[in-house]
Structure formats: C-alpha cells, structure tokens
Structure 1
C-alpha cells in the first residue's frame, strides 16, 4: 500500500510544482535556445529535473518507514549528491574533470557504503566471483560510464523520461517480488515523479530535464540495475523470480544508452575523431533525420527497450552464454538496418531539395527591393495649383 501511495504522492507533487518551476526558470532566463546540437524549436526552460527529484523525495519522505530508510540510506544520500552535481552543472557549467570528481562521491557511497556492486560474472565465461578490488573498480567504471551514457540520450522530447519510466517500472516489480521493498518503493516513486514530468516534457516539450534530471535518473537507474544484476545472480530460485542470464537482463534494462554509446564511440574513432567530441550522431538524431517526430522517436526506442526486456524475461531459462550473443547480434542487425534506412531517407530528401545556387538566386531576388521611381515628366504633365 505504501508503494502505491508513494507513487501517487510523487506524481501529484510533481504535477503541481512543474508549472511553477517552468515559470521560475523562464523568469530567471534558464532556457535553451535551438541551434548547434539542440534540435528543438523555440526557447524552452531546462533544469526540469528539479521537479522530478523534489517530487520523488516528497514521496519517499512521506512513505518510507524507518527500516527501509536504514536499508537504503546510502543510496538516497548518493542520489541527493548526484542531483546537486547536476544542478551545479546546469547553473554554472562544470569542467569535465569537475563533473567526474563530483560523480565519484555518490559512486563511493553506492559501491563501498551500500555495497551495491558487480560481485562476479555469475558463471559467465566460467567466472563466478571477482576479487573485491576488481569488483569495486569494475562497478565504478560501469556506474560512471552508464550514468553519462544516459545523460547523452536526453536529446529528444520525452525520450529520457520514457526510457527510465520503463526500466524503473520493471525494477519496482522485481524488487518487490524478491523482498527488496525499500528499493521497490524507491523505483515506483521515481516512476510517479517521471510520469508527472512527462506531462510537460512530451512533444512539444514545455520544459527539459537538463543535467539535473538526466544525471540523477541515469545514476539511480544504473545503480539499481547493478543491484538487480547482482541480486539475481547470487540469489536462490526460492527467493523470487530468478533469471539465468542476469547480465543480459541488466543489458536489456539499459539497452538504448549502451547501444548509443558503443555506436558513437566506434563511428567517431573509425573516422579518427575523439570519441568524446559531441555531435549529432546519436541514435535519436538519426531517427529524426528519417522524418520521425520527437514523440515517435520516444515511442520507437521505448518499444525497442520493451522488446529486449520481454526477450530477457521470456527466455529466463537461458544462460548469458546464449542470451548475450543473441542480443548482441540482434542489436547489431537493427543498428545496420537503421543506418541504411537513414541514409536512404537523407538521399531522397537531398534529391527533392532545390539546388543550392537556385536557392541563393531566389534569396537574392527576395532581398532586392525595388526603389520607387518618379517619371521625369510628372511636373510637366500635372499643373500645380498655387491657390
């Protein structure tokens, strides 16, 4: 019952305060203008993640009991710290080193204090348990990389919210089934906060979540997926719904940011570019070039994620040795198909567009203004009445 009440509380608080946040951000001139890598139209306020996180903490404070707070306290502290890092970056942009340093602190709380980490490969490649130091380093790398990967996905209206909504919903049900009620309540409370935000973030968006939201949600999602993978890989089948391919299931929950990050890194490095240099080569950019609207992009990528989640849970009896290669092949095929379709679409649009020189001539003609001319014999033709 508390889970339902917490979700509803977060939704209504978020629904009430988001318009206030929009108005305050507009008056403070915290807006994003189109241009460069920004593909929206019009000036839209950012930092909407404030509404998501505030609504979430209202729900958690109201409905987490004492034992649940004790169980999840380090995660909640880490989540609050990551929120402050994103807020600071939105207010005054941080350097890459400063942002990384700020992300290390909540990572420490999650990995060392809360002991949420990848403890092994659960039989994959014959590896069951990792040394503690290796486990900590691997989890740290995954936490930082995947958090920032999710941050990069936030480039189309409703996309980051839709993807995180799906994953948190699945995690909420699974945590409840295996007895991790504190993390189930946290997951569903985040669902309530995200749903209230999507009302205003759906295309055409009235507000963006900014780093305040994308870093916070990306961090919370990555940490909870790591907990999901490790708990699933180490628990007995009598404890709840156990998947024999925990790594593949975790990948399914983060499939879009993982695929997008690998794809852009490979493409940029193959062209001799820095993999960290920002551009418009993300998967949502390609789908928009195919002529799809922001809402369709969010629904398509959300559908892709649902497909892989259903695949992982539906084939729960298969091991990572079978399911991981299967998912990798399917992702690669889908990516190649998408690139080919995008290229075809761009060629069609290019052929349909008028030549550049013709456009320039028309623009020059439009810019030229005819000067008014007075006939030379106007005074001779008309008599001037001096009376």
Structure 2
C-alpha cells in the first residue's frame, strides 16, 4: 500500500508541476530550437526533468522510513548531484570534461561509499573474485558509460522516458522480491514520476526532459542495474528470483542504449570519424527515415527492449557463457535487419518523391494565372 501511495505521490506532483514548468520555461525563453541534429518542429521548452525529479524526491521524503532512507542515502545523494549537473548544463553549457568530472564524483559516491559495484565476475570466463581496485575501476567506468549512453537516446518524443519505465518496472519488481525494499520503492517512484512527464512528452511533445532528466535517469538506471547484477550474482536460489547469467541479464536490461552506442561508435570509426562526433546515425534517427512517426518509433523500440527482458526469463537457467553470445547475436541480427528494412524504405520513398526541379516547375505553373484564351482575344480586340 505504501509503495502504491509513493508511486501516486510522484505521479501527482509531476503531473501538476509540468504544465506550470512549461509556462515558466517559455517565459524565460529556455527552449530547444529546431535545426541541426534536432528533429522536432517548433520551439519546445527543455529541462522537463525538473518535474519528475522533484516529484520523486518529495515522494521519497514523504513515504520512506528512516531505515529505507539510510539504505539508499548514497544513491539519493549522487542522484541529486546528477540532477544539478544536468540542470547546470541545460541552463549554461558546460564542457565535456566538466560534465565527466561531475559524473565521476557521483559515481565514486555510490561505488566507494555506497559499495554498489561489481564485486566479482560471477564465474564468467572462470573468474570469480577480482581485486578491489579493478572492481572500483570497472564499476565507475560502467556507470559513466551507461549514463552517457542513455543520454544519447534522448532524441525522440517519449523515447528515453518509455525505455526507462520498462527497466525501472523490472528493477522495482526484482528488488522487491529480493527484500531490498528501499531500492524497489525508489525504482517504482521513478516510474510514477516519469509516467507523469510522458503525458506531456509523448508525441507531439510539449516539453523535453533535457540533460536535467536524461542524466538523472541514466545514472539511476546504471547504478541500480549494477546493484541488480551484483546482488543477483552473489545470492542463493532461495533468496529470490535468481538469474544464472547476471552479466547477460544486466546487458539485456539496458540493451537499447548499449547497442545504440556500440553501433554509432563502430560506424563512425569505420568512416574515419571521431566516435564522439555528433550526427544523426542513432537508431531512432535511422527509423525516422523510414517515414515512421515519433510515437511509432518509440513503441517499436520499447517492444524490442521488452523482448530482451523476456529473453532473460526464458534463459534464466543459462549461464553467461551461453546467454551473452545469444543476446549479442540477436541484437546484431535485429540491428542488421532493421538497417536493411530502413534502406529499402528510404529508397522507395526516394523513388516516389518527385525531384526538386520538378516540384519547382509545378510551383511556377501553379503560380501563373490561368486566363481563358477567348477572354484574352476579346480584350486585345477592344484595345485595338
């Protein structure tokens, strides 16, 4: 009952704040202008992450017991830091190194002080225990990489929010049945907050979450996924639902940002470009070229994400040596198939679209007045 009230509180606060936030941001001219890599039309206010982060924090402070607050205190602190970092970046652009520095501090808080990290390789490649220095390094790097990977998919109406909702729902359920109530409630609270935001962010979007929202959500997803992988990998079968392939399960949860980042980095490198160069080669950009609407692309990607989570349950008794290759091969096959379908669709659209010169000629003809020849001859005779 408390969990439901916490979810509803986050939803209600976010739902009430967002319309006011839209008006305030428009008056302050804090808007996202179209053009460049932007694929939206019109001037849309950004920084919408304020609404669901504020809703989530108020809900946590209202419904969490002291023991639950202590349980997630380091995650909550780092989450707040990421929110402020994203807010600063949305209001005043900061350099990439400054952004990475802030993310590094937040990651160190949860890894070093919160002890949320990969404590083992869980038998993958025959490795179990790993040195603490390696554990800290891998965990911090993974948090920063996943946070920025999630930030990269925030380029379409409703996409980042919808993907996060699916993953947070799974994490909330898993932590609940594993007895980690504080983390479970926090995941569910974020679901309520993000859904309230999606009401206004669904296509056509009235507001974007900006780095204020995407960095906060990406960080929370990265940290809680690492906690899920480590807790699942070290738990006994009787302690809850145990997935025999903890690393593969973590990959499946965040398959969309992971695959998208690997895909664009590979393509840019093969073309001789910097992997960090901005362009329109993300999955959602590619699917938009098929002629799909924002909502159609979002629903398709969410279904793909849900499919991989379903694979976790189907292969719950398989180990990482088996499930990691299956997930990797399946992701590559789906990606290549999507590329083929998209290219075929783009070529078809190109064939059916008249050339630009032809369109210009049509416009010229349409702009000329259509005068009846008989009337013109009478006018000429009268003038003579």
Looking at structure 1, the residues matched to 96 and 360 of structure 2 have their Cα atoms a distance apart, in angstroms, of: 41
Correspondence for 1:38: 38
Offset of 1:365 from its aligned partner? 6.7
Offset of 1:3 from its aligned partner? 1.3
Q: How does 1:6-45 map to 2 (within 5 A)?
A: 6-45=6-45
Offset of 1:292 from its aligned partner? 1.1
Correspondence for 1:373: none
Q: How does 1:1-387 map to 2 (within 5 A)?
A: 1-362=1-362
Looking at structure 1, the residues matched to 290 and 121 of structure 2 have their Cα atoms a distance apart, in angstroms, of: 39
Looking at structure 2, the residues matched to 43 and 86 of structure 1 have their Cα atoms a distance apart, in angstroms, of: 20
Asked whether the equivalents of residues 249 and 313 of structure 1 are also in contact (C-alpha less than 8 Å), the reply is no
Aligned length: 374
Could you tell me which runs of 5 or more consecutive residues in structure 2 were left unpaired when the two chains were aligned: 370-378
Offset of 1:359 from its aligned partner? 3.5
C-alpha RMSD of matched pairs (Å): 1.8
Q: Which portions of structure 1, spanning 4 or more consecutive aligned residues, are displaced by more than 3 angstroms?
A: 359-369
Offset of 1:357 from its aligned partner? 2.9
Partner secondary structure for residue 72 of structure 2: helix
Report the TM-score, using the length of structure 2 for normalisation.
0.94
Looking at structure 1, the residues matched to 332 and 129 of structure 2 have their Cα atoms a distance apart, in angstroms, of: 29
Offset of 1:354 from its aligned partner? 1.6
Offset of 1:355 from its aligned partner? 1.9
Looking at structure 2, the residues matched to 209 and 130 of structure 1 have their Cα atoms a distance apart, in angstroms, of: 38
Asked whether the equivalents of residues 18 and 51 of structure 1 are also in contact (C-alpha less than 8 Å), the reply is yes
Report the TM-score, using the length of structure 1 for normalisation.
0.93
- For residues 114-135 of structure 1, what are the alpha-carbon distances to aligned partners after superposition, in whole Å with 9 as ceiling and x for unaligned? 0101112101111112110011
Offset of 1:366 from its aligned partner? 7.3
Partner secondary structure for residue 50 of structure 2: helix
Looking at structure 2, the residues matched to 65 and 298 of structure 1 have their Cα atoms a distance apart, in angstroms, of: 36
- For residues 272-327 of structure 1, what are the alpha-carbon distances to aligned partners after superposition, in whole Å with 9 as ceiling and x for unaligned? 00100010000001111111111111111110011110111222111011111011
Looking at structure 1, the residues matched to 346 and 256 of structure 2 have their Cα atoms a distance apart, in angstroms, of: 23
Offset of 1:362 from its aligned partner? 4.8
Offset of 1:263 from its aligned partner? 0.3
- For residues 31-52 of structure 1, what are the alpha-carbon distances to aligned partners after superposition, in whole Å with 9 as ceiling and x for unaligned? 1121111111111110000001
Q: Which moved more, 1:306-315 or 1:172-181?
A: 306-315
Partner secondary structure for residue 118 of structure 1: coil
Looking at structure 2, the residues matched to 145 and 119 of structure 1 have their Cα atoms a distance apart, in angstroms, of: 18
Looking at structure 2, the residues matched to 130 and 210 of structure 1 have their Cα atoms a distance apart, in angstroms, of: 37
Correspondence for 1:374: none
Looking at structure 2, the residues matched to 43 and 231 of structure 1 have their Cα atoms a distance apart, in angstroms, of: 44
